[in-house]
A = this chain, B = another copy of it.
Amino acid sequence: MASVRYELITLGDELLLGLTANSHLTFIGAALGRQGARLGRNVTITDDADAIAAQFRESWARSDVVITTGGLGPTCDDRTREVVAQVLGQELVFEESIRAAIEARFAKLGRRMTDNNLKQAYRFSRGEVLPNANGTAPGLWVEQDGKVLVMLPGPPNELNPMFTEQVLPKLSRLGLLAEREAYVQVRTAGIGESALEVKLQPVLAPHGDALSIAFCAHQGQVDLRLSSPSGALSMERLQDLAQECVTLLGEDFLCIGHDSLAKVCADLLRAGDHTLAVAETATGGLLANCFTDIAGASKFFAGGCVCYSNESKMQLLDVPEDILLQHGAVSSENAVAMAAGVAERLGADYGLAITGFAGPCGGTKENPVGTIFLALYTPGGVWSRRLAQSGPRSAVKQRAVNGALDWLRRELVRAKRGCCGEASKPQRAGGAMQ
- A→B interface (CB under 8 Å): 12-23, 25-33, 38-47, 51, 73-77, 111, 113-114, 116-117, 134, 136, 154-157, 160-161, 183, 185, 192-195, 197-198, 212-219, 223, 225, 258, 277-278, 282-293, 295-298, 301-309, 311-312, 315-316, 345-347, 358-361, 390-395, 397
Instruction: List chain B residues, Cβ under 8 A from A287.
Output: 285
Instruction: List chain B residues, Cβ under 8 A from A308.
Output: 292, 297-298, 301-303
Instruction: List chain B residues, Cβ under 8 A from A117.
Output: 194
Given contacts A44-B25, A75-B194, A312-B302, contact A216 B295 (CB under 8 A): no
Chain B residue at smallest Cβ distance from A182: B17
Known A18-B32, A19-B29, A304-B306; 4 more pairs at CB < 8 Å: A16-B29, A73-B194, A285-B286, A305-B316
Q: Is B41 a contact partner of A43 (Cβ separation < 8 A)?
A: yes
- Output the least CB separation between A183 and chain B (Å): 8
- Output the least CB separation between A134 and chain B (Å): 7
Instruction: List chain B residues, Cβ under 8 A from A311.
Output: 302, 346-347
Chain B residue at smallest Cβ distance from A109: B192
User: How many angstroms between the C-alpha atoms of A21 and B74 in the bound complex?
Assistant: 28
Q: Is A38 a contact partner of B17 (Cβ separation < 8 A)?
A: yes
Q: Is A198 a contact partner of B22 (Cβ separation < 8 A)?
A: no
User: How many angstroms between the C-alpha atoms of A253 and B291 in the bound complex?
Assistant: 34
Q: Is B134 a contact partner of A391 (Cβ separation < 8 A)?
A: yes
User: How many angstroms between the C-alpha atoms of A68 and B230 in the bound complex?
Assistant: 27
Instruction: List chain B residues, Cβ under 8 A from A75.
Output: 193-194, 197, 213, 215
Instruction: List chain B residues, Cβ under 8 A from A26.
Output: 18, 20-22
16 A-B contacts, Cβ less than 8 Å apart? Answer: A15-B29, A16-B40, A17-B39, A20-B216, A21-B23, A22-B25, A42-B43, A113-B194, A157-B219, A278-B306, A285-B285, A285-B289, A286-B289, A288-B288, A303-B306, A304-B306
User: How many angstroms between the C-alpha atoms of A327 and B232 in the bound complex?
Assistant: 61
User: How many angstroms between the C-alpha atoms of A288 and B397 in the bound complex?
Assistant: 13
Chain B residue at smallest Cβ distance from A298: B308
The 7 closest A-B pairs by CB, nearest first: A284-B292, A18-B30, A285-B288, A18-B29, A285-B285, A285-B289, A303-B312
Given contacts A157-B395, A302-B308, A307-B303, contact A77 B213 (CB under 8 A): yes
Q: Is B284 a contact partner of A393 (Cβ separation < 8 A)?
A: no
- Output the least CB separation between A30 and chain B (Å): 3
Instruction: List chain B residues, Cβ under 8 A from A307.
Output: 303
Given contacts A17-B29, A22-B26, A76-B213, contact A306 B286 (CB under 8 A): no
Instruction: List chain B residues, Cβ under 8 A from A345.
Output: 312, 315-316
Q: Is A194 a contact partner of B136 (Cβ separation < 8 A)?
A: yes
Instruction: List chain B residues, Cβ under 8 A from A293.
Output: 284, 393-394, 397
Max chain B Cβ within 10 angstroms of own Cβ: one of A15, A22, A359: A22
- Output the least CB separation between A66 and chain B (Å): 15
Instruction: List chain B residues, Cβ under 8 A from A277.
Output: 312
User: How many angstroms between the C-alpha atoms of A300 and B3 in the bound complex?
Assistant: 56
Q: Which one of B31, B111, B218 lies within 8 Å of A155 (CB-CB)? A: B218
